[in-house]
């Protein structure tokens, strides 16, 4: 039987550049005393990201959530927005905080993204937009979503928090939909400490997004919109610029760790892993595993791993439509696949520095737990 390890293993660990590189980047900030409000690094980071993400247009934000909330605000919507409950709280909160009503569509049991077969049934004359989630970096069926959205005149804003650097047929994922939000939180494949970006189709949105993240200010003496403070500061942008140099290497390492997990877990009865779509270039953001008819339940495995000092996460449990703040208006039974997967999924430790032997150890503990 596997022993309890001494040092804890957490679900992830932030990507960090060499300290000297970051410190070097700080010197010009001290010289200029320009700390925030769209400084030099902000502009340079924006330029480099636009190219890395192959995005037609891009705006930076202080975090992913503000990016999503303000992207939705920029669309000037009213009514209902179709999304999925199998996501982080941010997705639905961004809709509700815009005075809009989320309508939860179930997910498909293959890749846990929005079940497009159910989409049209949920569209009413109050529907104004769709906010699908590329959960774990699994891309939604962007082509069918586009066709349906176009035929009903709906906006599409992707929660692309998990898809930094991903491509579909060699094109950046941010090209799909009216807008896509990327998160650069410390726990993500790529971080700027906290941070986020919106990529968008219509260049006319650039001015609106810029104004909305800066309190709605439109001139020295004019404020035309009810904006927020969503500005990314220079320390974040400096971190982003440093990390951008290492992100390809990080994705490569993530990929080999995911392959290792798959080689150890694939084919075990009752364990389900995500399949890859050959059209997609993945970033290997998460390692989700679904336990369905396995020798131990998800919660038992969570507990056994914890006893071994391995701290995995139940991303995403509970479903958003089962949160205390939404439960009075929704029922998780309305999205049965999401409710089921949410009760069966664990995301395993994954980050570039994770030793391969730890992957083997995690898989060994899971195998032992399954034998009872």
**What is the contact surface with ligand T4K in residues (CB under 6 A)?**
10-14, 63-65, 87-88, 90-91, 133, 159, 161-162, 183, 185-187, 196, 313, 315
User: What is the spatial distance between Cα 166 and Cα 282, in angstroms, rounded to a whole number?
Assistant: 5
**Residue 135 CB, nearest distance to ligand T4K (Å)?**
7
Q: Which two tokens stand for residue 298?
A: 């998800």
**DSSP secondary structure, 238-305, as one string:** HHHHHHHTTHHHHHHHHHHHHHHHHHHHTT-TTEEEPPPPTTEE------EEEESS-SS-HHHHHHHH
**Residue 338 CB, nearest distance to ligand T4K (Å)?**
14
**DSSP secondary structure, 77-141, as one string:** --SEEEE-SSS-HHHHHHHHTTT-EEEEPPB-TTT-SB-HHHHHHH--TTEEEEE-B-GGGPPP-
**Residue 277 CB, nearest distance to ligand T4K (Å)?**
19
Q: Residue 77 or 320: which CB sits closer to ligand T4K?
A: 320
**Residue 188 CB, nearest distance to ligand T4K (Å)?**
7
Q: Residue 240 or 295: which CB sits closer to ligand T4K?
A: 240
Q: Residue 12 or 243: which CB sits closer to ligand T4K?
A: 12
**Residue 218 CB, nearest distance to ligand T4K (Å)?**
26
Q: Residue 350 or 369: which CB sits closer to ligand T4K?
A: 350
Q: Residue 156 or 295: which CB sits closer to ligand T4K?
A: 156
Residue nearest to ligand T4K (CB): 64
**Residue 174 CB, nearest distance to ligand T4K (Å)?**
15
Q: Residue 155 or 313: which CB sits closer to ligand T4K?
A: 313
User: What is the spatial distance between Cα 372 and Cα 368, in angstroms, rounded to a whole number?
Assistant: 7
Q: Residue 50 or 134: which CB sits closer to ligand T4K?
A: 134
Distances (CA, A) of 181 to 54, 77, 337: 14, 17, 25
User: What is the spatial distance between Cα 191 and Cα 250, in angstroms, rounded to a whole number?
Assistant: 12
**Chain centroid offset of residue 334 CA:** 24
Q: Residue 184 or 294: which CB sits closer to ligand T4K?
A: 184
Among 280, 27, 322, 273, CA closest to 138? 280
User: What is the spatial distance between Cα 223 and Cα 212, in angstroms, rounded to a whole number?
Assistant: 10
Q: Residue 75 or 95: which CB sits closer to ligand T4K?
A: 95
Q: Which two tokens stand for residue 185?
A: 């939180």
**Residue 151 CB, nearest distance to ligand T4K (Å)?**
27
**Residue 43 CB, nearest distance to ligand T4K (Å)?**
21
Element (H, E) at 156: strand 155-159
Q: Which two tokens stand for residue 42?
A: 């902000």
Residue 130 main-chain phi, psi, to 5 deg: -125, 135
Q: For the range 118-126, what are the long-range contacts, defined as Cβ-Cβ under 8 Å and sequence gap of 24 or more?
A: 119/82, 119/145, 119/148, 120/148, 122/82, 123/82, 123/148, 123/152, 123/154, 124/80, 126/79, 126/80, 126/101
Q: Residue 77 or 189: which CB sits closer to ligand T4K?
A: 189
Yes or no: say if 320 and 92 are a contact pair by the CB < 8 Å rule.
Answer: yes
**Residue 185 CB, nearest distance to ligand T4K (Å)?**
3
**Residue 344 CB, nearest distance to ligand T4K (Å)?**
18
């Amino acid at each position: 039987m596997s022993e309890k390890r001494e040092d804890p293993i957490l679900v992830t660990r932030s990507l960090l550049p060499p300290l000297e590189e970051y410190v070097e980047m700080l010197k010009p900030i001290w010289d200029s005393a320009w700390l925030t409000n769209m400084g030099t690094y902000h502009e340079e980071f924006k330029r480099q990201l636009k190219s890395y993400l192959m995005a037609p247009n891009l705006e930076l934000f202080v975090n992913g959530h503000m990016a999503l909330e303000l992207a939705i605000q920029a669309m000037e919507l009213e009514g209902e927005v179709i999304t999925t409950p199998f996501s982080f709280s941010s997705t639905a909160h961004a809709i509700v905080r815009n005075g809009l009503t989320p309508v939860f569509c179930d997910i498909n049991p293959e890749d846990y993204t929005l079940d497009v077969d159910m989409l049209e049934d949920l569209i009413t004359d109050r529907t104004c937009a769709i906010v699908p989630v590329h959960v774990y970096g699994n891309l939604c069926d962007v082509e069918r979503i586009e066709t349906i959205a176009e035929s009903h005149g709906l906006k599409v804003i992707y929660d692309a928090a998990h898809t930094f650097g991903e491509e579909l047929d060699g094109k950046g994922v941010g090209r799909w939909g009216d807008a896509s939000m990327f998160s650069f939180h410390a726990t993500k494949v790529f971080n700027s400490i906290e941070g986020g970006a919106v990529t968008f189709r219509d260049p006319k949105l650039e001015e609106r997004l810029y104004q909305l993240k800066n309190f709605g200010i439109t001139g020295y003496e004019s404020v035309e919109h009810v904006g927020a403070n969503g500005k990314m500061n220079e320390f974040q942008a400096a971190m982003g610029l440093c990390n951008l140099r290492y992100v390809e290497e990080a994705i490569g390492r993530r990929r080999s760790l995911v392959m290792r997990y798959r080689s150890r877990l694939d084919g075990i009865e009752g364990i389900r892993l995500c399949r890859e779509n050959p059209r997609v270039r993945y970033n290997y953001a998460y390692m989700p595993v679904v336990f369905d008819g396995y020798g131990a339940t998800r919660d038992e495995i969570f507990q056994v791993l914890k006893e071994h000092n391995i701290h995995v996460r139940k991303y995403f449990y509970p479903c958003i439509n089962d949160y205390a703040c939404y439960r009075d208006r929704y029922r998780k039974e309305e999205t049965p696949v999401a409710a089921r997967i949410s009760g069966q999924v664990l995301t395993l430790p994954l980050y570039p520095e994770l030793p391969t032997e730890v992957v083997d150890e995690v898989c060994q503990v899971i195998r032992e737990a399954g034998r009872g």
